[in-house]
Amino acid sequence: MKTIPIRQIAATHREQSNAGRFSIRDIRAVLNGKPLVHELHKHDFYFILAVEAGQGIHEIDFVRYDVHHNALFMLRPGQVHQLQLAAGCTGYLLEFDTSFYQPKNAKEEQRWKKATGKNYCEVSESRFKKLLSFLSLIFTEYAAKQEGYHEAIKACLDLFFIELARQSPNPKQVSAGTNNYTQERFEELLRLLETKITAVKSVSQYAGLLNLSVYQLNAITKASVGKTTADLINEQIILEAKRYLLATPNQIKDIAWHLGYEDASYFIRFFKKHTGQSPDAFRKNFK
């Protein structure tokens, strides 16, 4: 069973310390006058692409976005993407893991979850410039590496994520008027689905992990996005299946096994029910 290709933070830019992994690069230096094409892969770290000017295509978990001026993209660990950037693009590529940066107190963590829950952020030019100013400060600190630069970078990241959390609404964000408790528990569920879907597939199991009853959990998901917990579980299974179908050459039976299905024929029926085509047809037809 082959795994989805995982890119590493560039060795020439990687922090070599117990502080975690961090990198920030100027897109112009990365491109060096040439277009960039990255085939489907995933990361085990957070990835921020801030394009000040330029064009391209960025596909994240099979959702296609056009790259344009003042565009900002955020990937969480485990998401798959493919990226094309035209020569001449400007902006920054920033990569880090949670050993380097992750808010600790509850209020900051809630803001962090809100900011990182969306893959694409469409903002006005003035707001983008504010976000870019924080990245520029981070780039300067990282290049100079003066005393305390780790702390300076993390402080700038705090400001960056405060501003990012104010931006365009998260498509998975809870409905207006939903209380903070419901929002927090819903976001906890989304994180669990991302990390445990291959082993945990029942509503009762997720309810148990969150110390909720099945009724309480379904009430939270219905209030948040108008779907049952079972709907969200099925969506996550299909997403993980698509990731392996397109990013690896594994046989269908092996992908079914990876997803926790001993009976490959059952998995094929499940996939076709939710997508309208078989796994093999999806793999062949996807452009």
Annotate 90-152 with DSSP letters as a single string. Answer: EEEEEEE-TTT----SHHHHHHHHHHHT-SEEE--HHHHHHHHHHHHHHHHHHHH--TTHHHH
Average pLDDT score over residue span 81-95: 95
CA distance 149 to 167: 27
Residues of the chain with CATH 2.60.120.280: 6-165
Which pLDDT value is given to residue 187?
85
**Per-residue confidence (pLDDT) for residue 184, from 0 to 100:** 81
**Confidence check: pLDDT of 155 > 80:** yes
Mean pLDDT of all residues in 120-132: 90
Which range has highest mean pLDDT (85-94, 159-168, 183-192)?
85-94
Mean pLDDT of 227-241: 95
Task: Give 6-165's CATH code, choosing from 2.60.120.280, 2.30.30.30, 2.40.10.10, 3.40.50.9100.
Answer: 2.60.120.280
Enter the pTM of the model: 0.80
